[in-house]
Structure 1
Amino acid sequence: MKDEGQAQAFRSAAEAVDWITGLMPVIGIRPGLERMTLLMERFGNPHLRLKFIHVAGTNGKGSVCAYLTHALRQCGYDVGTFTSPYLTSYSNRLQYNERDIPEDTLLQLANRIKPEADALAGTEWGPPTMFEVTTALALLYYGTVAYPDYVVWETGMGGRLDVTNIVTPVVSVITNVGHDHMDMLGPTLADIAREKAGIIKPGVPVVTTELNPETLAIFREKAKSCRSTMYSLGEHFHCETVSAAEDEQTFAFSGPFRDIPSLTISLNGIHQQKNAAAAVMTLEVLRQYYALIVEDGDLAEGLRKAAWPGRLEMVSREPRILLDGAHNPEGMEALAAALRDIYRFDRLNVMIAMMPNKNHEHSLRHILPMVDLLVITEPDFHKKMKADDLADVARRLRGNTGRPAEIVAEPDWRKALSLLTGTEDASSPGTLHVVTGTLYLIADVRSWLLHGTKSEKGW
């Protein structure tokens, strides 16, 4: 490593973040662990001294991370939380005890990483990617500065070749397998399942809420080959709805070690009960294997307080504006179910933007039949689907149903937001406005509505 007396590469955290995020459009995504392994060796492998809960899945992994973080914190543990993408600022994704990494720490660690990244760039392996540098930053933060009791560790995409897979966790979690990142992970659900199963490690227990028998068979095969105990929803643990209303739902949990008759969560959507149950089962495994101390009251309070921005989040009451990052068919199906089961409205206006590599027809089919006005826009991001192209897809699907009654394409998301909320009955209690699709759109709209500024969104 470079001598600390040498001139710093960056003078501010903003400069460091600009360097890191600037790697994305230049280098892109390059799956594999070789560069990450070499980079960590240069820093003495700080990840080897940490306890990780590794979370993968197509949908729900962010919510599971939120439940785990809040529950562990409520139980008195220090927790690092590494997630992606971020909705407001880059530092959101590197948290310790629910607070973003301090700017001075980010600057110090970036200045440690930069010369090693430059040295790696001169080898046959080439320069590290943005996600690799960010992951290295997280490992240095948790392993050399913060020293949390547990790190809740979310994959970027996939699992087997995801750079977060450099760690050996104390427990692995796989929420589900859906149609997402198919350009990187493979064209079928079986292909995607095999990639996500790659986080299962020898002897490390795994928790999953996947229900598809074919996918589960892939997970079981991997767990068996690793001699890892697998706990699957519907077989080893269960959750049953007690009550469900907007901003509050209660479920009963039953598992191999004990039953909990009543747990309440504030995140919306029946699917969140599965995510919370996955977190509870994970904590139950840690109680059995690692003597984790979890009092019933702390568990209940931690789950109840858990929040996850941009997922069925009501950011405005007058007018009613709901944000949900449903960016694939499974996510859109969950959104449609929540709209049917939880929210009350006479008119539904939806604004949406998507990335070009998503399964758009299957996504839109879930929600179009209930929409009155569909405003299609584009995120401020270097990769995006053109609003006119997505509008063509929506118009083809409208068919004989005649829904949505009106489809508008407006590439500028600010103008699109004005169109969404500019109807005569926009502020009526019976009108619900939903902003959905890619999280890059959700990030900007959320920051604009809550803070009057754009976000620093990204991976």
Structure 2
Amino acid sequence: MKNKCRTMIQALKKFNFKQVTKYLDGCLVFGIKPDLARIKKILEITGEPHKKSDFIHVVGTNGKTSTTIMTANILKGHGLRCGYHISPHINCYTERIWVDGSNISGQDFADIFNFLYPYIEKVNRFNLGGPMTQFEVIAAMAFTAAANKKLDVMVLEAGMGGRWDATNAADSRVVGLTGVSLEHTNILGKTIGEIAAEKAEVIKKGAPVASLSRDKKVLEVLQNKAADTGSKLYLYGKDFCIINKIRDCFKGWNTDIKGTADTYF
């Protein structure tokens, strides 16, 4: 009875956008232990929103955010209802979830959080290695936004690594690797090969992979993983390339990317 009353109170509680940001600021940034149990549980009990859209996964050490944003805009330009989930934000949490041309509004952000809040509290009461982290909560919000807005595809930027990243709850249809260098070695591994292996764990069965990295150790990892999953591997300099690498323009720098199907400016 006590637990039932607590659940009812939580369901009635409503946060405004400022209160949501305060809540997120108070969440753990990193979990007690790397695990997908919490994100998988909340997605399970909220109707599996991560199975209602297609996803493209972007992993790597640097360049993930710009790659994610460019990919989403290319897809939108081809007429798809598209979104993206990036991290971290610069000014506001709403920057992390972009839907069909713009960041979601503060009201939409709060509405999604209010829907999820009772389930967040429920997951936090399970013995799943600690409470949901800030990144896990926002990832759950991104999956929910994709389902609510009936997106054709959402581009996901991995937060750290890949294997245990909350975005890896999705069965992504395509994977992009921007590059690999030594980072978070206390968590991801001490060598380029070990770190690449953690990132390669986002590759699902049959999902094509595009890699900007030409590091031999990284390519060895990707080739082995692609063989295991039956995935086609597309390599920079072989299957696609960047032409006119840097060109001054009034808005900054431009790059032209020549892919297997078209050239994007």
Do these two structures clear the TM 0.5 threshold for a shared fold by scoring above it?
yes
- Aligned pair partner of 1:118 in 108, 121, 125: 121
Change (3 A) 1:267 1:161: farther
Count of aligned pairs between the two proteins: 259
8 A contact 1:206–1:230 mirrored in 2: yes
3-state SS in 2 of match to 1:52 = strand
Mapped partners of 1:165, 1:60: distance in 2? 18
Deviant stretches of 4+, over 3 Å = 1-6, 27-30, 238-241, 266-269
Instruction: Tell me what 1:140 maps to.
Output: 144
Residue matched to 2:22: 18
- 1:141 to 1:29, Cα distance in 2 relative to 1, 3 A: farther
Alignment map for 1:7-406 (pairs within 5 Å): 7-10=12-15, 12-24=16-28, 28=31, 30-125=33-128, 126-143=130-147, 145-241=148-244, 244-247=246-249, 268=253, 276=257, 280=259, 284=261, 300=264, 303=265
- Indicate if the aligned counterparts of 2:45 and 2:119 stay in contact, CA closer than 8 A: yes
Which letter maps to 1:133? Answer: V
User: What is the RMSD computed on CA atoms of the aligned residues?
Assistant: 2.4
Instruction: Tell me if structure 2 keeps the 8 A contact 1:30–1:129.
Output: no
Counterpart position of 1:445: none
Residue pair 1:29, 1:129 contacting (<8 A) in 2 also: no
Q: Distance in 2 between matches of 1:228 and 1:4?
A: 48
Could you say if the C-alpha distance between residues 127 and 58 of structure 1 is closer, same or farther in structure 2, counting changes exceeding 3 Å?
same
SS, match of residue 231 in structure 1: strand
Matched position secondary structure for 2:27? helix
Q: Is the 8 A contact 2:11 2:118 kept in 1?
A: no
CA distance in 2 between partners of 1:229 and 1:245 (Å): 31
Shift of 1:13: 1.0
- TM-score of the two chains, using structure 2 as the length reference: 0.89
User: Given residue 213 of structure 2, which amino acid in structure 1 is its aligned partner?
Assistant: E
Residues of 2 paired with 1:28 and 1:198: CA distance?
19
- 1:259-282 C-alpha deviation (Å, 9 max, x unpaired): xxxxxxx7638xx66xx45xx45x
Q: In 2, Cα distance between the equivalents of 1:49 and 1:267? A: 37
User: Which residue number corresponds to residue 375 of structure 1?
Assistant: none
> Tell me, what secondary structure is at the counterpart of 1:80?
strand
Which of the two has higher C-alpha Rg? Answer: 1
- Cα distance between partner residues in 2 of 1:156 and 1:48: 20
The 1:5–1:153 alpha-carbon spacing in structure 2 relative to 1, beyond 3 Å, is closer
Identity %: 29
Asked if structure 2 preserves the Cα contact closer than 8 Å seen for 1:54 and 1:154, the reply is yes
CA distance in 1, matches of 2:55, 2:107: 25
| CA-CA distance at 1:102 after TM superposition | 1.8
Separation in 2, partners of 1:120, 1:244: 47
Taking a change above 3 Å as real, the CA distance of residues 111 and 219 of structure 1, as seen in their structure-2 partners, is same
Equivalents in 2 of 1:85, 1:235: separation in Å?
Answer: 32
TM-score (norm 1): 0.53
User: Structure 1 pair 173/4, CA: closer, same or farther in 2 (3 Å)?
Assistant: farther
